[in-house]
Chains A and B, each alone.
Chain A
Amino acid sequence: MSTARSRLDAFAVALARGVLRWRFLVIAAALVATALVAMNAANLGISNNYRVFFSKENPELTAFETFQATYTKNDNFLFVVRPVSEGAFDGETLEAVEALTAEAWKIPFSIRVDSITNFQSTRGVDDDLIVEDLVRDGASLPPEARAEKQAIALAEPILRDQLLTRDASVTAVNVVLQYPERDLTEVPAAAAAARDLRDRIKAEYPGIDVKLTGVSMLNNAFAESGMTDMMTLVPLMYLVVLIAAVVALRSLSGTFGTLLVITTSVLVAMGAAGLMRIDLTPISFSAPTVIMTLAVADSIHILISMRSAMRRGMAKLDALVEAIRVNFLAVSITSLTTIVGFLALNFSDAPPFWHLGNITAVGIAAAWVFSLTLLPAVISLLPMKVAVREGADTRSAMLRLADWVIARHKILLVGMVTASVALIAMIPTITFNDQWIKYFDERIEFRTESDVALQDFGLYPVEFSVPAGEAGGVSEPAFLERLEGFTEWLRTRPEVVHVYSLADIMQRLNKNMHGDDESYFRLPDDRELSAQYLLLYELSLPFGLDLNDRVNIDKSATRVTATLGDVTTKQTKAFLDASAAYIEANFPEGQRAKPTSAQVMFTYITDRNVQNMIGGTTIAILAISAIMVVALRSVSLGILSLVPNALPILTTFGLWALLVEQVGFSVATVASISLGIIVDDTVHFLTKYQRARRENGYGPEDAIRYAFDTVGVALIVNTVILALGFLVLTYSSFKMNVDLGLMTVIAIIFALILDFLLLPALLLIGRRQPVAADAAQSA
């Protein structure tokens, strides 16, 4: 049995000696290899499209892509214009809106600008149909004329609540964009132009505040959030590593070696990301922070062992070889399990998590190699002095903890299990919430501007492509009536701020074509008349707008847009369910519209990711358990290890439900990420326990004491470092990272508590099981 271990030990020793003999070559090779891989980081792009959060197979995305190919695309800027004192139809405000409208046409990739001033107002005067901009040169209009225009705008369903508030105090200018989607500079270029325009208007009209939001700003915010994180988290993480290394190692050389390992690991990982042609997102931007957190542990384990060997009187190089020998297996296994946990992210529906998983896996593999090669080679060249002494304080503290746990193991078992069950029972109260505006914290301009915009306008459109059954069918009176019914029903919903529907346009045209006779403000009752109105409507549309914005090309379907206000995912789901029920009850089969839009995609993003990650996490658990069985060379201990490995994750979800309640879609990935990390504690503890029982012939109690004594401090140090690293992640400007970081911190701390307090109790309860016999079998 111990032959395998001694063979492994022999290999580790040979490796360490080889590294030290060829240390200059090792250093040169490591640095050259790092540089060669890192060069590829030049290929990295920064993604600026919310669609990257959805896989190509995502059903909500494919539905929306089809929808967008049929009608006009939804990328937009929304300028919210808020005059400080007077209303939107104040002369100065109109002037500002006209200037903004004219200038917005010049924003790169814009195809259409809509505002209260360029709205194509239609009037019927006798046998004339007048189509004109609602406001032209508004500043020169007398107050009565402006009041009249305001009344027209407020009566217009297309404008009211969409581009003008009901009290006419705030207005908006909407810019529709069509990106060629050829390179990643398009969105930042458009966003820069839009911001510049906003700032120019604000400077020119000091009495008017302008906020800027819209899908294009959202897309731009993804890039900016990632960049902000890169600028803040990585330096912060270096600081944390520096402090952790100095405190844990009390050695400048050791700190330098550690920083070198984490830096090269991150460089290799990002270079590999470049090779994989990854476009970075705020989620994959967190990979360096995660890699640094996990990579630092390897180095610190090895250097602590080295220094403790030197403290025992060993010479520097011998201590280094000894440190590699005793840590080789643990560092290898913990790296492997963590890599498995991160690779399992490939099961997620969201490609950014694939990227995070793959980049981090490469980084951890690099850290594993570098901490066994580059680190000893560098350390051997640097001064390292340790006073020979007997450090007994912490040891006795850990032994006291072991005694305490052994004495109270039954109470601890009951207490831990009860507490765990109580927390786990809370899990069903977790609510999923993915409000994409709130993905960003207040450091990101998009968030603050959108929050203000949301006070007056809805920002979450939900689209329905309502089929009419046949080409030209949208003109059928029966269809239009159903459409109007649906439109009116949508308006009764509390979540809905605005509805844009062909039914409104038809009624208005019918009125216009009858000399603005109000009694004709109703749907035409004749298919031919409706079809001819549509033709008229098409003729009256201004540059940049066409009927395909509302009606598909063969007029067999029309688009209804319901814009939702400041709603949660839960409220959106309630709305979508209600609309599905309405459509089911009121539309014949084959004419039932399915809702689609970015909002719909984000509403189901957590469900999709949870669904997909259940499979991924299951495979990760199986793989990691198999690694445990092999590492411990015991099936029963391997299975037992499932308890301290799984419980921290489940109790974390429970505590989250209790304290935070809401969670975004990164929750789906927490289990597999933290599993790979927290399993390390169990590996360390059980390996030592096993060694004591098999090699030293200890009974379970003494083996537990031995485990506490040998790895207790290392586990605490490790937990503190990991917790600090993931705490750094909670400083991210992107909520998914904050959730992920905080949950992982909780899981890591719970894992330590359960390994110290529950695992010994489990080992003692199961002591009647013949562990020795089991060992004999596998030997």
Chain B
Amino acid sequence: MTIQTLRIMPLAALTALLMAAPSQAVDASNKGFEVAARSDRTDLGFGDSKVAFEMVLTNAAGDSTTREVSITTLEKESEEVGDRSLVLFSRPRDIRGTGLLSHAKILDPDDQWLYLPALKRVKRISSANKSGPFVGSEFAFEDITGQELNKYEYTWLREEPCGDLNCDVVERRPRYENSGYTRQLAWYDQTDFQIRKIEYYDRKSALLKTQHFEEYKLYDGQFWRSLLFRMENHQTGKKTNLVFSDYTFGVGLEERDFVKSVLTRQR
């Protein structure tokens, strides 16, 4: 080997690296999207569902309080449109019958209607903030209602064990404006393709909260549902658990069950 080739070697290596880097980034992005999409597809065609849950809020001092809520969801099969959902509060007693109807959008603010029974009136809420806390919990509304595929850009990071399973760790960056998050890390298992954990990073890229998806149950042999969401806010020390009772699928809901007039008929 001559001295000349020795000099050229590092240069060549560097050039190769520079050329390889962009394509690797593309690969990671594609793979990240693929992992997320595979997970999203396992849920395709569930149609509608209904579930009641308890929302247990705990503050930094360890005090806690419970709210009882039910949620019905109508699937919109297009990946460009968000699902329809109706949230109904039943406890504490003084908010019983309060309902929130939501038509999720992917990148725009959701359409939301709120019904306050004491006021006997439906109000459309126009708000740009998607990542604000949902009724005092550590969850944003979007953290509860689901993971829309096109809300994020993806990068596949690595593969690692998660509990008994093996997971793909994917970084997701919100595509919509006004997000309180700069990025999220999601753990998708490689067996059932379900999300096991999400870490949320705030605008200064500091870890804000961690959501654990536990007690997965398989419905109709194809739809996985986690029956326990545990969310911990690392900055404030507050926690929220969502404890779900059994899901019902195939309720037979239709688009007309998710229009604003339906709100006044609940209770």
Given contacts A535-B98, A539-B100, A553-B64, contact A132 B126 (CB under 8 A): yes
Give the contacts of B115-161 with A (CB-CB under 8 A).
116-119, 121-129, 131-136, 140
Tell whether A22 is near chain B: CB-to-CB under 8 Å. no
Given contacts A108-B206, A532-B119, contact A541 B95 (CB under 8 A): no
Residues of B within 8 A of A129 (CB): 114, 123-126
Given contacts A129-B123, A129-B125, A529-B119, contact A475 B94 (CB under 8 A): yes
Partner of A539, one of B92, B134, B206: B134
* Nearest chain B CB to A127 CB, angstrom units: 6
> Contact at B235–A178, with CB atoms within 8 Å?
yes
Tell whether B7 is near chain A: CB-to-CB under 8 Å. no
Binds A, one of B30-38, B55-63, B185-193, B221-229: B55-63
Q: Choose among A69, A532, A554 the residue with the greatest number of B CB atoms under 10 Å from its CB.
A: A532
Tell whether A66 is near chain B: CB-to-CB under 8 Å. yes
Partner of A552, one of B63, B92, B127, B133: B63
Residues of B within 8 A of A539 (CB): 100, 114, 125, 127, 132, 134-135
Tell whether A87 is near chain B: CB-to-CB under 8 Å. no
Tell whether B89 is near chain A: CB-to-CB under 8 Å. yes
> Contact at A106–B203, with CB atoms within 8 Å?
yes
Residues of A within 8 A of B140 (CB): 543
Residues of B within 8 A of A130 (CB): 126-127
Partner of B117, one of A107, A532, A543, A553: A532
Partner of B59, one of A70, A471, A545: A70
Tell whether B256 is near chain A: CB-to-CB under 8 Å. no
Tell whether B180 is near chain A: CB-to-CB under 8 Å. yes
Complex Cα–Cα for A545 and B129 (A):
12
> Contact at B135–A535, with CB atoms within 8 Å?
yes
Give the contacts of A498-553 with B (CB-CB under 8 A).
513, 524, 526-533, 535-536, 538-548, 552-553
Residues of A within 8 A of B100 (CB): 539
Complex Cα–Cα for A471 and B117 (A):
20
* Nearest chain B CB to A405 CB, angstrom units: 66
Tell whether A587 is near chain B: CB-to-CB under 8 Å. no
Given contacts A548-B59, A553-B65, contact A528 B89 (CB under 8 A): no
> Contact at B136–A546, with CB atoms within 8 Å?
yes
Residues of B within 8 A of A475 (CB): 94
Tell whether A155 is near chain B: CB-to-CB under 8 Å. no
Tell whether A238 is near chain B: CB-to-CB under 8 Å. no
Tell whether A105 is near chain B: CB-to-CB under 8 Å. yes
Tell whether B204 is near chain A: CB-to-CB under 8 Å. yes
Given contacts A70-B61, A106-B203, A111-B236, contact A528 B135 (CB under 8 A): no
Partner of A536, one of B61, B114, B126, B131: B114
Tell whether A584 is near chain B: CB-to-CB under 8 Å. no
Of all chain A residues, the one with the shortest Cβ separation from B178 is A543
> Contact at A471–B129, with CB atoms within 8 Å?
no
> Contact at B125–A540, with CB atoms within 8 Å?
yes
Partner of B128, one of A70, A132, A180: A132
Tell whether A128 is near chain B: CB-to-CB under 8 Å. yes
Tell whether A110 is near chain B: CB-to-CB under 8 Å. yes
> Contact at A66–B61, with CB atoms within 8 Å?
yes
Of all chain B residues, the one with the shortest Cβ separation from A68 is B60
Of all chain B residues, the one with the shortest Cβ separation from A546 is B133
Complex Cα–Cα for A157 and B264 (A):
33
> Contact at A541–B126, with CB atoms within 8 Å?
no
Residues of A within 8 A of B121 (CB): 127, 513
Tell whether B238 is near chain A: CB-to-CB under 8 Å. yes
> Contact at B124–A471, with CB atoms within 8 Å?
no
Q: Count contacts between A and B, CB distance < 8 Å.
A: 136
Tell whether A131 is near chain B: CB-to-CB under 8 Å. yes
Give the contacts of A84-138 with B (CB-CB under 8 A).
105-111, 120, 124, 127-133
Of all chain A residues, the one with the shortest Cβ separation from B66 is A554
> Contact at A543–B129, with CB atoms within 8 Å?
yes
Partner of B92, one of A108, A180, A531: A531
Of all chain A residues, the one with the shortest Cβ separation from B179 is A543
Tell whether A472 is near chain B: CB-to-CB under 8 Å. yes
Complex Cα–Cα for A715 and B233 (A):
64
Residues of B within 8 A of A127 (CB): 121-124
Of all chain A residues, the one with the shortest Cβ separation from B234 is A180
Partner of B63, one of A70, A109, A131, A528: A70
Complex Cα–Cα for A547 and B57 (A):
12
Residues of A within 8 A of B206 (CB): 108-109
> Contact at B180–A543, with CB atoms within 8 Å?
yes
> Contact at A533–B59, with CB atoms within 8 Å?
no
> Contact at A528–B114, with CB atoms within 8 Å?
no
Of all chain A residues, the one with the shortest Cβ separation from B138 is A546
> Contact at A472–B122, with CB atoms within 8 Å?
no
> Contact at B65–A531, with CB atoms within 8 Å?
no
Of all chain B residues, the one with the shortest Cβ separation from A177 is B235
Complex Cα–Cα for A542 and B128 (A):
9
> Contact at B95–A535, with CB atoms within 8 Å?
yes
Residues of A within 8 A of B180 (CB): 543-544
Complex Cα–Cα for A70 and B236 (A):
11
> Contact at B63–A553, with CB atoms within 8 Å?
yes
Give the contacts of B85-99 with A (CB-CB under 8 A).
89, 92, 94-95, 98
Complex Cα–Cα for A127 and B126 (A):
11
Residues of B within 8 A of A472 (CB): 92, 94
* Nearest chain B CB to A191 CB, angstrom units: 15
Given contacts A541-B132, A543-B180, contact A528 B61 (CB under 8 A): no
Complex Cα–Cα for A555 and B114 (A):
21
Of all chain A residues, the one with the shortest Cβ separation from B123 is A129
Complex Cα–Cα for A120 and B178 (A):
13
Residues of A within 8 A of B116 (CB): 513, 529, 532-533, 535-536
Residues of B within 8 A of A107 (CB): 204
Complex Cα–Cα for A528 and B95 (A):
6
* Nearest chain B CB to A210 CB, angstrom units: 20
> Contact at A128–B123, with CB atoms within 8 Å?
yes
Complex Cα–Cα for A471 and B28 (A):
50
Of all chain A residues, the one with the shortest Cβ separation from B67 is A535
* Nearest chain B CB to A711 CB, angstrom units: 62
Give the contacts of B5-36 with A (CB-CB under 8 A).
none
Give the contacts of B215-256 with A (CB-CB under 8 A).
235-236, 238
Residues of B within 8 A of A526 (CB): 118
Of all chain B residues, the one with the shortest Cβ separation from A528 is B118
Complex Cα–Cα for A129 and B122 (A):
10
> Contact at B59–A69, with CB atoms within 8 Å?
yes
Residues of B within 8 A of A528 (CB): 94-95, 117-118
Complex Cα–Cα for A102 and B152 (A):
22
Complex Cα–Cα for A513 and B125 (A):
11
* Nearest chain B CB to A112 CB, angstrom units: 10
Complex Cα–Cα for A548 and B202 (A):
20
* Nearest chain A CB to B20 CB, angstrom units: 32
Residues of B within 8 A of A120 (CB): 129
- Interface flags, A130-156, vs B, CB<8A=1, else 0: 111100000000000000000000000
Partner of A543, one of B57, B114, B118, B131: B131
Give the contacts of A439-487 with B (CB-CB under 8 A).
471-472, 475
* Nearest chain B CB to A101 CB, angstrom units: 11
Given contacts A105-B203, A472-B92, contact A532 B98 (CB under 8 A): yes
Enumerate chain A interface residues (CB-CB to B < 8 A): 66, 69-70, 72, 105-111, 120, 124, 127-133, 178, 180, 471-472, 475, 513, 524, 526-533, 535-536, 538-548, 552-555
25 contacts between A and B (CB under 8 A): A106-B203, A107-B204, A108-B204, A127-B124, A128-B123, A178-B236, A527-B94, A528-B95, A528-B117, A529-B119, A532-B118, A532-B119, A535-B116, A535-B135, A539-B125, A541-B132, A541-B133, A542-B129, A543-B132, A543-B180, A545-B132, A545-B133, A546-B133, A553-B64, A554-B65
Q: Which 8 interchain pairs have the tightest Cβ spacing?
A: A543-B180, A69-B61, A531-B94, A529-B118, A131-B127, A528-B118, A532-B116, A105-B203
Beyond A110-B204, A545-B132, list 17 extra A-B contacts (CB 8 Å): A70-B63, A72-B236, A108-B204, A127-B123, A128-B126, A132-B126, A513-B119, A513-B121, A532-B94, A533-B116, A535-B89, A538-B135, A539-B114, A548-B59, A553-B58, A553-B65, A554-B65
